[in-house]
Structure formats: structure tokens, C-alpha cells
């Protein structure tokens, strides 16, 4: 059993298409705790640091412009195996390569409009949580925290 924190961000295409509720609902129903969440136009400096790893990729500028094109919903998510669980809920980077039940397969249009970001490992999660939520999130208990009953 490993309680983890991870960073999840609902991207501008999902906000614009009215899919925030559907996406958050999937995390809640899985038992993930939303420790912090905002709706905001992303800070360009934060976005630059967040996507620095992709700086040399051909899609980088389009990605950064897209992320700043409309509000995002950054979330600090906590739960058992939260990093892998979040990645599984999201699905494949390319929606066309995913499977039914995954957010990106069910709702995503193409790889450049794939609705959601989630940290891909423990080091990335620690970096991204610190970048987007330097103050951490609220400490509270929710009904359905499976790990309370183990
Ligand atoms: P993921 O978001 O699944 O972790 P990633 O870290 O490889 O995927 O890439 C970050 C984002 O960049 C991804 O969600 C969408 C965009 N992206 C990746 N590959 C792309 C490509 N070939 N064309 C356009 N956008 C791409
Ligand atoms: Mg990634």
C-alpha cells in the first residue's frame, strides 16, 4: 500500500468543451482525494518549467500555446498508487491508441487535444506538485478513502 500525491491538470480543450465535471468525477469515483484545485489561466513561467522536458520536441511551442489558450484546472491528487491510477484513468497519450474507459479514449480528439495531464512517475510528481502547489493542499478525510479500512 502506497499513498502517493500526484499532479493532474485538466487542459483547455476539456475546460472549453465542458468536460471538467466528467473528468473530476472519474477521479472521485475511483477514490482519489482532490487535495487542492484551481481554475485559472496558467502562469506562463510555470508552464515553461512544467514542459521544459519537451523543449526540443517539434510540438513544444504548439503545446505551450495550447495550454495557455483557455483556463486549466490544476489538481493535487492523493490516494493509493495515485500516480499510476491517474495515468490509468487518463489512458494513452494518443487517444486513438487507448481503450474504452480511459478519459483520453472516451473523450479526447487527438494527441494534441488529449484533455488531461498527469505526472508520469514519483520524481515528476514531486516536481510538478511543488511547482503548481507550493503551499500543498487541504488536509481532510473523505468518505471512501479505501486505505483507512485496510
Ligand atoms: P503524456 O501527456 O501522456 O505524459 P508526453 O509527456 O509524452 O505524454 O507529452 C506531453 C504532451 O505533449 C502530451 O500530452 C500531448 C503532447 N504531445 C506529445 N506527443 C505529441 C505529438 N507527437 N504531437 C503533438 N502533441 C504531442
Ligand atoms: Mg508526460
Question: pLDDT for 76-122, tens place per residue?
Answer: 999 999 999 999 999 999 999 999 999 999 999 999 999 999 999 99
Per-residue confidence at 144, pLDDT binned at 50, 70, 90?
low
Q: At what angle do helices 20-30 and 82-90 cross, to 10 degrees?
A: 140
Per-residue confidence at 138, pLDDT binned at 50, 70, 90?
confident
CA distance 7 to 77: 6
Q: Mean per-residue pLDDT for 132-148? A: 80
State the chain's mean pLDDT as an integer. Answer: 95
CA distance 129 to 6: 6
Which cell goes with 119?
505526472
Put simply, whether the predicted model's pTM sits higher than 0.85 gets the answer yes
The pLDDT assigned to 104 comes to 98
The phi and psi torsions of 51 (rounded to 5 degrees) equal -100, 15
What residue's CA is closest to ligand 1, atom 5?
93
Listed residue (69, 65, 36) closest to 48, CA to CA: 65
Any residues with CB less than 8 A from the CB of 150 and at least 6 apart, and which?
1
pLDDT tens readout for residues 10-25: 999 999 999 999 999 9
Pocket test for ligand 1, best of 42, 56, 63 (most atoms within 8 A of CB): 63
Ligand 1 center to residue 133 CA distance, Å? 22
Which residues are the active-site residues?
Answer: 117
Identify the sign of the CA torsion 66, 72, 76, 79. Answer: negative
The pLDDT assigned to 123 comes to 98
Counting from 1 in the atom list of ligand 1, the atom nearest the Cα of 117 is 2
Amino acid at each position: 500500500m502506497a499513498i502517493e500525491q500526484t499532479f493532474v491538470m485538466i487542459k483547455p480543450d476539456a475546460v472549453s468543451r465542458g468536460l471538467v465535471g466528467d473528468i473530476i468525477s472519474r477521479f472521485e469515483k475511483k477514490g482519489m482525494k482532490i487535495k487542492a484545485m484551481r481554475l485559472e489561466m496558467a502562469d506562463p513561467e510555470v508552464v515553461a518549467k512544467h514542459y521544459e522536458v519537451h523543449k526540443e520536441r517539434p510540438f513544444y511551442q504548439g503545446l505551450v500555446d495550447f495550454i495557455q489558450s483557455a483556463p486549466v484546472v490544476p489538481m493535487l491528487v492523493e490516494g493509493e498508487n495515485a500516480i499510476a491510477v491517474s495515468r490509468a484513468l487518463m489512458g494513452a497519450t494518443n487517444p486513438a491508441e487507448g481503450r474504452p474507459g480511459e478519459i483520453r479514449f472516451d473523450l479526447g480528439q487527438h494527441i494534441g487535444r488529449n484533455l488531461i495531464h498527469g505526472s508520469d512517475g514519483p520524481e515528476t510528481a514531486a516536481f510538478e506538485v511543488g511547482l503548481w502547489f507550493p503551499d500543498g493542499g487541504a488536509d481532510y478525510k473523505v468518505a471512501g478513502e479505501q486505505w483507512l479500512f485496510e
